[in-house]
Chain A
Amino acid sequence: MRVFEKNPLEKGLAERLREHGVSRRGFLKFCAATASMMALPPAMIPAIAAALERARRPSVIWLSFQECTGCTESLTRSHAPTVEDLILDLISLDYHHTLQAAAGEAAEAAREQAMRDNHGNYLLIVDGSLPGPDANPGYSTIAGVSNYAMLMEAVEGAAAVIAVGTCAAFGGLPAAAPNPTGAVSVMDLVKDRPVVNVSGCPPVPMVITGVLAHFLTFGRLPELDEYHRPLAFFGQSIHDRCYRRPFYDKGLFAETFDDAGARAGWCLYRLGCKGPSTYNACATMRWNSGTSWPIEAGHPCLGCAEPRFWDAGGFYVPLSVPTGPAQDYLLAAGALGAVVGGVVATSARGRVKAEAAVRQPVTVEELEQKL
């Protein structure tokens, strides 16, 4: 893993905080919050303190393409550390066209200046997908420049790229069928720089800041999963970390949103919960300053941190019912005619049958014996 250059003349975080009147206890508290934010065990706090004492402020350039600004909204709702801490003390946010005061030519000039001054060392954060190189660039431009051209120019001098939100990470809503703008993800285009995907629609705010804190603390990017997501936050499924899991294990499910099971807080699997196939940190980090999260509010997980979640079937269809390819094949069959349709439908049924043959049914009693 690449370790990024630091300017030895620049002051470390601990020294900057001390100059602002923050005591050593305040610094240790900051480290405790940072450990929690990075999903690291509290035993790591002394190591985090030692690393943060030497941490420098990296330049950060944030590009927003085909997005709804929900990801920035999420970040600015982060509470540990506050976004003010993050932006003013930890990173030098040199370009973010939603948050910065400058506009028009001055804003673009600030971006170009930061790219020149920090060439090879700045962090590039992207939210939103963008029309690919073969799509009409007119679907999304900034200051007359196509998203594609702006991204590739900014990537040139970036140390690493962080794709924030499911749109930047996997294409998201703009890339959902029929994908009218030819939207692609950052990962589809950037091949010669490290790319970290912080997926979610929007991402958990503490996960965004946690990835930045990891970069600041250790000077390198965190360990990633097969979708380039940080394992510390995306290493376990929602289902595995869900407080309602004991009800699943006992076979206690809500069947409707207002039945006795729903009121008793039973598992939402049969109401379409995508927790078993979704990897994210909602169950532990929660939302709204750690107050709650969708499942605690009584709604199934939509699976928003996973690729193609918009096209993965109904949000309220249980996972055990084949929702993707089989239904697609059946719809195609209707359009193409009975003969071809028959073949395709048979193929789809064959797939379902084959999948059923290798399935390992487990009874509730067997599950309880294993616990």
Chain B
Amino acid sequence: MSGLSSIPVRVAADGDACHGNALAILHEVRHALERLISTGEATRIDLHALPFGAGDEAWLTALLGTGEVLATIEALGPTSVQETAIPGVWLVDYRNAEGQRLALHLEVTCIPAILRTQCRELDTAVATLDTRLSTATPGGSHPLS
């Protein structure tokens, strides 16, 4: 079985199920934002490891809203990086190849680390481009994709 989605279970609608546990996290985010502004220090909060009840996470993400940036990274399964409506507050959702969540982080930073080009991989950047240039045919099809 690849996941729970194949089990025909319907989750009952539970619109008002927020247990109030997300409020403390929002205050922590506020402190993290102040720290980011004053010192530049970034903060990551692992939402997947918090004692949320049904509805708490949905309430938190709804309150933070949706911002302008949404990026998807394909590495060991999809990772979505979404800036919330609060500038500098990002939701990073790590999932495995089967779509199961591995971790859900709130990052308070200017740009999440996983979005940046990784310095370790710059070592091979020139060599990779050189390889492609050496086999490239002007006006022809791209040698590699």
The yes or no answer to A243 lying at the interface (CB within 8 A) is yes
Contacts of B3 in A (CB 8 A): 289
Q: Which of A36, A242, A244 contacts B103 (CB 8 A)?
A: A36
For chain B residues 87-111, which have a beta carbon within 8 Å of chain A?
A: 94, 96, 98, 100-103, 105
From A38-46, A91-99, A116-124, A301-309, give the one contacting chain B.
Answer: A38-46
Q: Nearest CB to that of B103 among chain A residues?
A: A36
The yes or no answer to B136 lying at the interface (CB within 8 A) is no
A29 in contact with B53 (CB, 8 Å): no
Contacts of B20 in A (CB 8 A): 246
If the complex has contacts A36-B46, A289-B101, are A28 and B118 also in contact, measured as CB distance less than 8 A? yes
Contacts of B49 in A (CB 8 A): 36, 39, 284-285
Q: Nearest Cβ distance between residue B11 and chain A, in whole angstroms?
A: 10
- The listed residue with most A CB atoms (<10 A of its CB), out of B43, B44, B46, B79, is B46
A290 in contact with B101 (CB, 8 Å): yes
Chain B residues bordering chain A, tally (CB within 8 A): 36
Contacts of B94 in A (CB 8 A): 29, 32-33
Contacts of A22 in B (CB 8 A): 75-76
Q: Nearest CB to that of B119 among chain A residues?
A: A24
Per-residue 0/1 for A278-292: is the Cβ within 8 Å of any B Cβ (1 yes, 0 no)?
A: 000001110011110
The yes or no answer to B30 lying at the interface (CB within 8 A) is no
A24 in contact with B120 (CB, 8 Å): yes
Instruction: Give the complex CA separation of A28 and B119 in angstroms.
Output: 12
B100 in contact with A242 (CB, 8 Å): no
If the complex has contacts A243-B19, A296-B53, are A25 and B103 also in contact, measured as CB distance less than 8 A? no
B4 in contact with A36 (CB, 8 Å): no
**A residues lining the B interface (CB < 8 Å):** 22-26, 28-30, 32-33, 35-36, 39, 41-43, 45, 79-82, 241-246, 265, 283-285, 288-291, 296
